[in-house]
Amino acid sequence: MTDTSSLEGAGAKTSTLEAACEPWSFTQSGPLRTGDFIRQARERGMALDPSLLRELYRHGVLVPFAQVRDHRASPPVDLVAPQFAAHNTFLRELLQAARLGRLVDPAMAAYQPRLRFDERHHADRPGWWNGLLYSRYQLLLLPEIDRYLGRAIFRGKLGLPVARLPAADQYLTQLAQRYRTIAGVLTALEARYLPNLDPEWTRISRVDERDLGRWVQYRKNFDPIDFSARFAYTADQARSDAELLLVRADRIDPIASGPLRQLVRRLPPDGRKHLQGPALVAMDYRVAAEILLRFCEDLAERGVGSPVPAAATFGMSWHPLRDRLSCRDQTLDQDLMDLGLSPHPRVVLAVEGQTEEVHVPLVWKALGYPDAPELVRVLRLGGVDRDLEKVAALAAAPLIRARLAGHDAWQLAKPPTRLLVAVDPEGRHFETDQKIAKTRAKLLAEIQSVLKAQGVDRPNREELDELIEIKTWSQRCYEFSHFEDAELVDAILAVGRGRNGCNRAQLLQAIVATRAAGKDIKEVWSQWTPKPSKVELALALWPRLEAKIEACTVDEAIPLPEIVEVVQGAYALAQQWRYLSFVLSEEPRDAFAGEPSSDS
């Protein structure tokens, strides 16, 4: 085969039959009939019809990849014993035609003036087709010939418009031949590299599960040096072609460079079906380039050709290799964070009991906030005496990606999260200001320990302080802080369980006494059997809380319920942090006096 590393001398034609008959060719992307090729071109924003395809063939610009004929027209190909189940009808036709000598490369054969590019119509015999097959990688040429296609003149013939194109100049002919060579190589290499193009997973398609082991063996036995020799396709040529495709991808991609383009480049094969037009073409170019670059890397590992430079080699300057699919300057979380789309919550709101757990989502909805768990996530502690260190480590400790070169700071792998604790002022953690301060110091010390394990010895304490916030209700428990005695009586009576024989007056007296004694409302029913359900009680209290929220929106002089202030604060902070990028600064050495003390 002819080396077409430059356009000069690229006019020599290269047969595609060797690529078509390579083991596993067309198993990942089946051969395309003319109608299939036209439809896929349309998905990429290119308008083709059979008459245009015929003109492109006539001028040698875009020639079908292979042609299945009715009679012997070439030497039979002694194919390797089938290593897979060919489920594609036209792949079976192709392989059978190759064995019988009925497969030809139309670019190497004499021009056929009567060759048809249309689909079968009523006058044709049953089962007829034109025998023409394309490779999906021939679609790569279409954007390059867009202007040439624009020169087509359509004339009516038998009621149908028929395209006529002028002869192609030498530059276009050589460019077309280069792309034909690229398409042939890619068709032959696709099964080796496409299934694991994303290093994080392997996806082999169009093959039965029983064939997966055969593919693994094929991949293991694949010899890139032998392939390079048989196809006369060098590592330098592969890299040159890959960089050409990446340059084209950058120019045609409608998605500006940055985290959004990074996200699109991460799309798995099933996700790429949602792309259309230039965005799909840009993805085609990048997929093709990545296959060629993986081939280069395989050759380099065996001492053939130069290693493909890493993206970091080029610094901040743009280079085609920085736009390859496997070039990921940031983690997925960082790309999402830069776009404000990270699924990690900006605030974890930890509440103590079931009543608060029921009310917080209802308050959120009443305030008109969107259903966005990536902003605020609610966590029920189940009691004020639970140790929160591990909660803080999981929810609020920053995840470090790397130290920023030349800066006293670390790059974060995910957005920071504030742990906002809203609890009753009781127990060994929250009963007094001193206990709250001690608890907060313990949480910060735990976060600092997590950072130390990631190599961060001196995190900025002011920045860490922002990660923990503790609020306590104004009275002994949530219910007493938000509802009057009569409202609590009504709700308990509405629940309809418990009461222990108390009438309304007795129940009111018990609630008043419990509030006055500075005890939790649970003291009211501590001796009851059965006890009221806290969830049912929360739902019974909600209409009163909802009415208070509505009253505050009408009259700003009415103070907000404390739970509303907490939810509003969580939402405001989450929105403030949503679209920001963060780093964790380093504490100056002379200002760092050791780890936070839990006794402070």
Q: What confidence tens digit (pLDDT) does each residue in 368-425 have?
A: 998 887 889 998 887 766 778 888 888 899 999 888 887 889 988 888 999 999 999 9
pLDDT value for 2: 34
* pTM over cut 0.85: no
Mean pLDDT of 524-542: 91
Task: Output the CA angle 210-214-217, nearest 5 degrees.
Answer: 145
Residue 6 has pLDDT above 50, yes or no: no
Task: Specify whether the CB–CB gap between 585 and 409 falls below 8 A.
Answer: yes
How many CB atoms neighbour CB 284 within 10 A?
24
pLDDT in tens, 219-246: 899 999 999 999 999 999 999 999 999 9
pLDDT value for 472: 95
pLDDT value for 596: 47
Rounded-to-integer distance, Cα 411 and Cα 413, Å: 7
Peptide bond into 143 cis (omega under 30): no
- 158 band by pLDDT with thresholds 50, 70 and 90: low
CA distances for 591 relative to 305, 456, 468, 594, angstroms:
53, 15, 21, 9
pLDDT in tens, 450-471: 999 999 989 999 999 999 999 9
Task: Specify whether the CB–CB gap between 139 and 41 falls below 8 A.
Answer: yes
Among 290, 250, 254, 252, smallest CA distance to 269 is for 290
Half-sphere exposure of 474 (CA within 13 A, CB side): 10
Residue 598 has pLDDT above 50, yes or no: no
Please measure the distance between the N-terminal and C-terminal CA atoms of the chain and give it in whole angstroms: 77
| Residue written as token pair 């306590």 | 472
Looking at every residue in the chain, the average pLDDT score rounds to 87
pLDDT in tens, 64-112: 999 999 889 888 887 765 555 556 788 888 888 988 999 999 999 999 9
Task: Specify whether the CB–CB gap between 230 and 18 falls below 8 A.
Answer: yes
Residue 154 φ then ψ, to 5°: -105, 130
Mean pLDDT of 116-145: 87
pLDDT value for 507: 93
The beta strand positions in 18-100, using DSSP E, are 66-68
Mean pLDDT of 160-172: 92
Residues 469, 474, 476, 482: what is their CA dihedral angle, to the nearest 10 degrees? -110
pLDDT value for 153: 92
